């Protein structure tokens, strides 16, 4: 939010004024809306109309087990009953993009500490009014251009030339950029590209997919423009004008399934979430992002380099895959950029 404020894009994000999260359980059709308090004190856990059905306030103490936990999310939280199935598991899968029996509890703890643990004001569900580019990219480019930055897009980096412990030349497909003595590089490419450009750099090398399905359909937005689904194939249904979109995380398990059968199965979930929709499945587009994020496992966590992981004085690494302390998220990405900038301001 600080980043959005700085680039003048706060208003490009929209969402309910309060931290509310509508859910449906496909196992028995139960619907509920999680209604957090704005402040830090979680009074909502004491109110059966605002917490997860089938849970009592003591169940929420399970979250404390994440503190200092060394193993997986399932090891730390599994067996906690309905609170696990209806809240903690969906949260873990969405935030870590990795199945809970493999995902690191410490990364989940980092997310929980900065969301549920920080109070409802830190949990408002916001989505871009138009798209991620219009919120996070275009205003940032305009901000930089207004301050004299020369931005050149569509130039593929092919190699970095070194001179002792400095990068001296960036080789691009259409020419070279020679660095001056007071110039520096923030390398913000995906992990496999960084590994190619910086020999010897260890980076995450196992990935998880995210699936998005977009249906041409008109559904009335409820209290929030999305519904969380428990016990279905779909995990989150987002309602936009003329389109209903579904997100499925940790989706390597669905990559082999033909899009036709997957979209039919998911449509059943969408109709459960939005009962006014007709039974016939409308036109649907399935988008599979095979390497959406690195897998948030113990093994991959060890492979995430620090900002100075390349060992070069004028090169900082940035990206969701660097050692941000968070899973692969926009939040982690933005923080990694700030870390890279601070590092270079100190060292160059």
Ligand X SMILES: Cc1cc2nc3c(=O)[nH]c(=O)nc-3n(C[C@H](O)[C@H](O)[C@H](O)COP(=O)(O)OP(=O)(O)OC[C@H]3O[C@@H](n4cnc5c(N)ncnc54)[C@H](O)[C@@H]3O)c2cc1C
Return the number of the residue (31 or 156) whose C-beta is nearest ligand X. 156
Backbone angles phi, psi at 45, to 5 degrees: -70, -15
**Half-sphere exposure at residue 295, Cβ-oriented, CA atoms within 13 angstroms:** 18
Is position 193 an interface residue for ligand X (rule: CB under 6 A)?
yes
65 DSSP 8-state letter: G
Is position 328 an interface residue for ligand X (rule: CB under 6 A)?
yes
Pair type for strands 13-14 and 127-128: antiparallel
- CB 232 to ligand X: min, Å: 18
- Separation between Cα atoms, residue 141 and residue 220, nearest integer Å: 34
Is position 323 an interface residue for ligand X (rule: CB under 6 A)?
no
Q: Which among 1-9, 35-43, 143-151, 325-333 is the span making contact with ligand X, rule CB under 6 A? A: 325-333
The residue to which tokens 């959406």 are assigned: 292
Per-residue buried b or exposed e for 320-347, using 16+ beta carbons within 10 Å of the residue's own CB: bbbbbebbbbebbbbbbbebbeebbeee
Return the number of the residue (44 or 189) whose C-beta is nearest ligand X. 189
Q: Which among 102-110, 113-121, 215-223, 327-335 is the span making contact with ligand X, rule CB under 6 A? A: 327-335
Q: Which member of 84, 233, 320, 339 binds ligand X (CB under 6 A)? A: 320
The residue to which tokens 């994440």 are assigned: 66
Residues 261-290, interacting with ligand X (CB under 6 A):
289
Is position 157 an interface residue for ligand X (rule: CB under 6 A)?
yes
For 83-165, strand residue ranges (E) read: 127-128, 157-163
Is position 190 an interface residue for ligand X (rule: CB under 6 A)?
yes
Q: Which member of 135, 245, 252, 293 binds ligand X (CB under 6 A)? A: 293
Return the number of the residue (51 or 303) whose C-beta is nearest ligand X. 303
- CB 92 to ligand X: min, Å: 14
Residues 6+ apart with CB under 8 A from 74: 100, 101, 103
Is position 210 an interface residue for ligand X (rule: CB under 6 A)?
yes
Asked whether the beta carbons of 100 and 78 are under 8 A apart, the reply is yes
Judged by CB under 6 A, the number of residues near ligand X is 18
Structure-token pair, residue 106: 């410490």
Is position 107 an interface residue for ligand X (rule: CB under 6 A)?
no
By the criterion CB under 6 A, which residues form the site for ligand X? Answer: 156-157, 188-190, 193, 210, 212, 289, 292-293, 319-320, 328-331, 333
């Amino acid at each position: 939010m600080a980043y959005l404020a700085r680039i003048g894009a706060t208003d490009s994000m929209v969402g309910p004024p309060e931290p509310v999260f509508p859910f449906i359980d496909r196992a028995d059709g139960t619907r509920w809306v999680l209604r957090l308090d704005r402040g830090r004190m979680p009074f909502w856990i004491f109110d059966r109309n605002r917490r997860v059905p089938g849970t009592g306030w003591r169940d929420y103490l399970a979250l404390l087990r994440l503190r200092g936990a060394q193993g997986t999310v399932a090891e730390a939280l599994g067996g906690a009953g309905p609170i696990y199935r209806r809240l903690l598991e969906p949260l873990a899968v969405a935030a870590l993009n990795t199945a809970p029996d493999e995902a690191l509890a410490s990364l989940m703890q980092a997310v929980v500490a900065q969301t549920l643990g920080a109070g409802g004001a830190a949990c408002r569900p916001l989505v871009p009014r138009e798209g991620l580019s219009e919120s996070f990219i275009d205003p940032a480019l305009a901000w930089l251009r207004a301050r004299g930055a020369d931005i050149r897009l569509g130039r593929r980096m092919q190699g970095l030339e070194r001179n002792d412990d400095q990068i001296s030349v960036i080789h691009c497909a259409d020419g070279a950029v020679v660095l001056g003595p007071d110039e520096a590089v923030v390398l913000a490419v995906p992990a496999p590209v960084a590994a190619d450009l910086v020999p010897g750099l260890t980076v995450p090398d196992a990935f998880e997919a995210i699936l998005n399905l977009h249906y041409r359909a008109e559904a009335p937005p409820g209290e929030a423009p999305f519904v969380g689904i428990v016990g279905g194939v779909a995990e989150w249904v987002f309602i936009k004008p003329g389109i209903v979109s579904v997100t499925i995380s940790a989706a390597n398990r669905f990559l082999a399934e033909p899009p036709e059968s997957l979209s039919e199965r998911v449509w059943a979930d969408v109709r459960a979430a939005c009962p006014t929709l007709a039974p016939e499945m409308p036109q649907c587009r399935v988008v599979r992002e095979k390497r959406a994020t690195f897998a948030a496992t113990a093994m991959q966590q060890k492979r995430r380099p620090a900002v100075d992981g390349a060992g070069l004085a004028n090169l900082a690494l940035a990206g969701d895959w660097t050692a941000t302390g968070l899973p692969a998220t926009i939040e982690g990405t933005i923080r990694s950029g700030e870390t890279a900038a601070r590092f270079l301001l100190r060292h160059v």
